[in-house]
Amino acid sequence: MEEQSSPRVSLAEGAIILIVMLLIMGVSVIKLALAPEIPILLVIFLLICWAKARKISWSSVNDGIVNGIQTGIIPIFIFIFNWNPN
């Protein structure tokens, strides 16, 4: 049971995963009127399960999460600080 150190995902597989993620989040928030945190956590859980099924190492998954947060945190703060509720 050897884990991959450098994961390779095909374009088709990546597109299918993205579409499933968007469908889960869209249907959950719009159709089922759930709070957005619930479908986001569900999608993260499903992605972790998918990565383990593909035998991708946890360090690679963790590096991807950290890289995504580092890339997205600045626009999030810009959005928060520029938000005007009036």
The Cα–Cα gap between 86 and 81 comes to 14
> Considering only CA atoms, which of 64, 41, 42, 54 is closest in space to residue 4?
54
Does this model's pTM top 0.75? My answer is no
Structure confidence by residue, pLDDT tens digits, 50-76: 988 998 888 888 888 899 899 999 988
Range 14-31 average pLDDT: 94
